[in-house]
Structure 1
Amino acid sequence: MAVAPTLRTVVRRSPLGLGVLAGGDALDRPVRWVAVSELEDPTPFLEGGELVLTTGMRLDAGNAASYVERLVGREVAGLGFGVGLGHETIPGELVEAATRAGLPLLEVPRDIPFVAIGKAVSELLAAEQYDELSRAFAAQGRLTRAALRPEGPRAVIDRLARELGGWAILLDEAGAVRHAAGRGAAGAADDLGPELERLRKITGRGAPASAAFSSPREHVIVQPFGARRVRGFLAVGLGRPFTPVAHTVVNAAGSLLTLAVEHGREHLAAERRVRSAVLRLLLAGQVDAGCETLERLGERLPAGPLVAIVCAGEREAVLETAGDEFAAADGDADSGADGGADGGADGDGVVLLVPASRADAVAAALGEHGPVGVGDPADLDDLRTGLDQAYQALAGARRGAVPVMRFADLAGRGLLCLLDSDAAAAFSSALLAPLRRYGSRADLLESLRAYLDCNGHWDAAAQRLGVHRHTLRYRMRRVAELVGRDLDDPAARAELWIALAVAPGDGSAR
């Protein structure tokens, strides 16, 4: 909607010769249209903001006050009275009523047709609309040039704050401030939390939306941006209501931010695909080709031995935390690690290659997003080994429910951390089931545990249980019969030890 001209502008149109008889201090009211009516009550046909024109055919001393009262209640811009037809002069009662009510009352000379006033207002509206469009296009051009600068979205925010004379804030999808410009922006960011939460709920249901709210000090607009999903939020605040031009400029800024973010993400995705290709080359032993390809991106691998790190957290969060480190989404890397039960064949992690001096710090930061496996330092021609180690360590981190596992620490954590917990529990349940079903369950299970803990020494195990060694021998024969294992076989004893160690509710082998 165009900015409407004011009554003052209409009065100053010299060819009209309009005179102000009342309400001179209210001439800055906008005139949104001209309405001609000789009705005693024209208000049912008005929307508010009109300049009402009349010759007063139905006005007299008795109804002038009520007529003005109705117009004021409808919030018209003003009243134009044409003299020389129904009245040679404007009735004094009407002037007095308009003065009391603060309603602008204009005298229209007899030789000025009402249509001339209507045409003048239409021309002013058209001029204002053209001026509005011109200002909006000019502002969009400046915002576009800002978006093309190296700093992109930040430059758009700076330009937007200057264009509107207020503040502008760029927030990421989590609501964290990425950039702010304009006076009052820093303090305003703290008040946006509830609106951002409301917008997340609305946009989460698939309905893109924006929010507008006001306080005695300022007016604020918050809108999300992003193409396929919300990538962030734009917040703008002014010390006055937003004009149509301001709304247009804010919408243009939101569109430019969407383009910048989506284009940046596509460019970033392309770079990540190149890094995944580099990783494939390195793992295939084509070190020179891999390094040359990476140099095309203006990057180099760090000198010296590198540590392979694999993180199974949410990919975007991991890559953002990785920052400038060499990182590749392993879905394209085809590591083919065979060492761990969850090797890299499924490409279920993000692979990083970092100098040994930074490995601990990087792994700790990535551990906030999901389990992390860290290999031993390796030269470029032996990265396959380092990555296999990282995947084995990742498997250990998952089974041990720890955020970070280093390959070098796996041996110190024992064999059990390498076993798949679900598979091990199923194996234990099946192997020990006959002992659980047989008579006094605790006698056989506890006897077997003591026997294994004492490495098959009858006297020591019997003493621990408080039974005669012949009683223990009898029990072990029953165990061997029930589980179908020869207890003199070291492999059979190892299987039973593992079954007892992982058995739910039965503790662990000592």
Structure 2
Amino acid sequence: MRGHAHAFDGTATAATCRCVVPASCEENGCPECTNLGVNVAPTLRRVTAIRALDLRVLAGREALDQPVRWVAVSELDDPTPFLEGHELVLTTGMTLTSDDAEPYVSRLVARGVAGLGFGVGLTHAAVPSTFVAAARAAGLPLIEVPKDTPFIAVGKAVSELLAAEQYEEISRAFAAQGRLTRAALQPAGLSAVIDLLAREIGGWAILFDESGEVRHAAGPWDEARARALAPEFARLRGGTPSILALATPSEHVIVQPLGRHGFFAVGAERTFSPIGHTIVNAAGSLLTLALEQGRGPRAAHSHIRAAALTLLLHTPPSTPPQSTPASTPPETAPSTPASVAAAVLADIAEELPAGPIAVLACATPDPDALADALPTFSAPRGDHTIVLAPETALDHIIEIIERTTAHGRVGVSPVIPALTAPDLTTALDQAERALAAAGDETPVVRFGDLAGQGLLSLIDPEAARTFAAALLEPLTRYGSRTDLVESLRVYLACNGHWDAAAQRLGVHRHTLRYRIRRAADLLARDLDDPSTRAELWLALSI
């Protein structure tokens, strides 16, 4: 990712952020002020609205939404060397004359001050008209401060506004940390934290596995952005720095490692404030903890579910499985494989779905996240995950899978009436065949949809081509002296009707009879045999 990179030692809150945020939270679609990606400061409009100060705006009203970060009192003819930007400068004009207006205002604008407060009733009875004209021309807010309003009162008012804004921001940060913690405690905690974090910062968030593949993403992210972060992962794997902050003209990004278990990145259009960094760090801690703590139990549960699936596939046909409560006494509990599977699952607070179900075979780069997100039984099987989805919740579960898996593929079996081994075995095979047909353009394939593609859709393409080449080899070796292959294809397509096939080929039916007899002799097959016809038609269709 092009741009400037800054390394942090893990305490990003110590960084100083001077971002300018002229828009309000409401303008950014955040009426509850939950967007923590930006700094907060009171505006000149809020300062001038304080009635007790009796301030009057003389120029630059259109720029009153500039943030005020401090009040600076100065009687110097050039105070800019002592300013940082975004100050409200207060002066009585003790050393200033009317001729100083334009250069004085120009210097303030160049330094980036928020506005100029001119005290009247002491050196000047009123703000000189040349200062009003210069401020109006430069777009600099010019505020008249009456004699009865001491400068210290203006300073205290701004200080109180700053303190109130900072308190509110810290309160929002604590509230956001609470929301993130509650999200982390959900069954799909990793995904929930990423989803919430993207909303909190008003941008995007991506969770990556150890290899840099996307596990889950939320907000306006895209593949190109995710790929651009790959070089940063290589830097972070070295351990130095521990956190990366990247900046481009249009985006600010933070990348953090999650122990040994992956990375996460967040991005927003605006600079992250210190509080924003705190929230991102809190999310990183929660994600790391969830990955570290969940690894052992998750692996154990995964093995248990896999064993339960194996038991279900070996259940005697006459014994449908039943959910057995963990409290069932051993001497009264059924001892069938399916019942044992149900009892084992009950020990880890899971149960088998009841009633009609469909079997789903899912290929996903993050099977753990998928298992966490699903409200029904799932188990690993080879390089994919098997899901038992109740018929009543099938569409909802498919939606969850599509939402949870990045670049995932799903095969769906027809619904079976109950979890008996024969039905489950058949449905499992159908789901895996449908999964094999799924791809980037069609990530979810139902087995029933394969019927429209014919028998060929169920056969391995390479095996089918090998079979066809071997079966038709005598005809292709015979060469082009007579087109036996095309004649045989048309003859079979016309279901053995000589006249129709001859007419389609444009030859006499006796010529066609000769070709078909010759093909039968070369193949050493009886073309009146339905099995032979089926095999040849399959080979000719490849």
Aligned to 1:324: 380
Deviation string 1:316-356 (CA, Å, 9 cap, x unpaired) is x9xx9xx73699xxxxxxxxxxxxxxxxxxxxxxxxxxxxx
Aligned to 1:378: none
Structure 1 SS opposite 2:84: coil
Q: Return the alpha-carbon distance in structure 1 between the equivalents of residues 116 and 349 of structure 2.
A: 72
Residue 12 of structure 1 aligns to which amino acid in structure 2? A
User: Are 1:224 and 2:260 an aligned pair?
Assistant: no
Kept in 1: contact 2:246–2:254 (CA 8 A): yes
Q: 1:298: Cα distance to partner?
A: 7.9
Q: 1:268: Cα distance to partner?
A: 4.3
Q: Return the alpha-carbon distance in structure 2 between the equivalents of residues 297 and 139 of structure 1.
A: 31
Kept in 2: contact 1:69–1:101 (CA 8 A): yes
Kept in 2: contact 1:203–1:209 (CA 8 A): no
Deviation string 1:464-501 (CA, Å, 9 cap, x unpaired) is xxxxxxxxxxxxxxxxxxxxxxxxxxxxxxxxxxxxxx
Residue 108 of structure 1 aligns to which amino acid in structure 2? V
| Among candidates 246, 249, 252, match of residue 276 of structure 2 | 246
Structure 2 SS opposite 1:63: helix
C-alpha change, 1:241 and 1:326, in structure 2 (3 Å) is closer
Q: Which moved more, 1:256-265 or 1:27-36?
A: 256-265
Deviation string 1:328-387 (CA, Å, 9 cap, x unpaired) is xxxxxxxxxxxxxxxxxxxxxxxxxxxxx99xxxxxxxxxxxxxxxxxxxxxxxxxxxxx
Deviation string 1:257-315 (CA, Å, 9 cap, x unpaired) is 1111111124346779999xxxxxxxxxxxx9xx9998766899xxxxxxxxxxxxxxx
User: Are 1:265 and 2:302 an aligned pair?
Assistant: no
| Among candidates 191, 212, 215, match of residue 178 of structure 1 | 215
C-alpha change, 1:209 and 1:163, in structure 2 (3 Å) is closer
Structure 2 SS opposite 1:193: helix
After superposition, where does 1:134-173 map in structure 2 within 5 Å? 134-173=171-210
Structure 1 SS opposite 2:243: coil
Residue 238 of structure 2 aligns to which amino acid in structure 1? G
Aligned to 1:233: 263
Q: Return the alpha-carbon distance in structure 1 between the equivalents of residues 98 and 69 of structure 2.
A: 29
Deviation string 1:49-78 (CA, Å, 9 cap, x unpaired) is 110000000110222211111111111111
Deviation string 1:189-236 (CA, Å, 9 cap, x unpaired) is 3223233312422441443122323344xx242322323x3x222222
Q: Return the alpha-carbon distance in structure 1 between the equivalents of residues 139 and 266 of structure 2.
A: 36
Aligned to 1:352: none
Q: Return the alpha-carbon distance in structure 2 between the equivalents of residues 125 and 179 of structure 1.
A: 38
| Among candidates 123, 130, 134, match of residue 97 of structure 1 | 134
Q: Return the alpha-carbon distance in structure 1 between the equivalents of residues 77 and 252 of structure 2.
A: 42
C-alpha change, 1:298 and 1:101, in structure 2 (3 Å) is closer
**Identity of paired residues, percent?**
56
Structure 2 SS opposite 1:62: helix
Kept in 1: contact 2:302–2:380 (CA 8 A): no
Kept in 1: contact 2:135–2:142 (CA 8 A): yes
Q: Return the alpha-carbon distance in structure 1 between the equivalents of residues 208 and 258 of structure 2.
A: 12
Kept in 2: contact 1:161–1:181 (CA 8 A): yes
Residue 293 of structure 2 aligns to which amino acid in structure 1? H
Q: Return the alpha-carbon distance in structure 1 between the equivalents of residues 102 and 150 of structure 2.
A: 26
Kept in 2: contact 1:135–1:245 (CA 8 A): no
Q: Return the alpha-carbon distance in structure 2 between the equivalents of residues 325 and 180 of structure 1.
A: 25
Residue 225 of structure 1 aligns to which amino acid in structure 2? P
Q: Return the alpha-carbon distance in structure 2 between the equivalents of residues 266 and 234 of structure 1.
A: 21
Q: Moved runs in structure 1, 4+ residues, more than 6 A?
A: 269-275, 291-295
Q: 1:254: Cα distance to partner?
A: 1.5
Q: Return the alpha-carbon distance in structure 2 between the equivalents of residues 206 and 101 of structure 1.
A: 47
Q: Return the alpha-carbon distance in structure 1 between the equivalents of residues 111 and 198 of structure 2.
A: 37
Q: 1:138: Cα distance to partner?
A: 1.2
C-alpha change, 1:262 and 1:135, in structure 2 (3 Å) is same
Deviation string 1:130-172 (CA, Å, 9 cap, x unpaired) is 1101111111111111110001101111222233333322111
CA-based RMSD of the aligned residues comes to: 3.9
Deviation string 1:232-254 (CA, Å, 9 cap, x unpaired) is 22222334443444333322222
Aligned to 1:212: 246
Kept in 2: contact 1:153–1:260 (CA 8 A): yes
Kept in 2: contact 1:209–1:224 (CA 8 A): yes
Kept in 1: contact 2:59–2:141 (CA 8 A): yes
Q: Which moved more, 1:109-118 or 1:254-263?
A: 254-263
Q: Return the alpha-carbon distance in structure 1 between the equivalents of residues 271 and 133 of structure 2.
A: 34
Kept in 1: contact 2:92–2:120 (CA 8 A): yes
| Among candidates 86, 107, 110, match of residue 147 of structure 2 | 110
Deviation string 1:109-137 (CA, Å, 9 cap, x unpaired) is 00100000000000000000011011111
Kept in 1: contact 2:73–2:91 (CA 8 A): yes
Residue 251 of structure 1 aligns to which amino acid in structure 2? N
| Among candidates 177, 183, 198, match of residue 232 of structure 2 | 198
Structure 2 SS opposite 1:153: helix
After superposition, where does 1:443-458 map in structure 2 within 5 Å? none
User: Are 1:60 and 2:84 an aligned pair?
Assistant: no
Kept in 2: contact 1:4–1:30 (CA 8 A): yes
Kept in 2: contact 1:166–1:239 (CA 8 A): yes
Residue 47 of structure 2 aligns to which amino acid in structure 1? V
C-alpha change, 1:76 and 1:160, in structure 2 (3 Å) is same
The structure whose RCO (Cα within 8 Å, separation 6+) is larger is: 2
C-alpha change, 1:45 and 1:251, in structure 2 (3 Å) is same
Size of the alignment, in residue pairs? Answer: 299
Q: 1:39: Cα distance to partner?
A: 0.6
Structure 2 SS opposite 1:192: helix
User: Are 1:32 and 2:72 an aligned pair?
Assistant: no
User: Are 1:16 and 2:53 an aligned pair?
Assistant: yes
Kept in 2: contact 1:225–1:255 (CA 8 A): no
Identify unmatched segments of 5+ residues in structure 2. 1-16, 18-38, 306-334, 352-366, 371-378, 384-425, 429-542
Kept in 2: contact 1:195–1:211 (CA 8 A): no
Q: 1:27: Cα distance to partner?
A: 0.5
Identify unmatched segments of 5+ residues in structure 1. 276-287, 301-316, 328-356, 359-510
Q: Return the alpha-carbon distance in structure 1 between the equivalents of residues 165 and 122 of structure 2.
A: 33
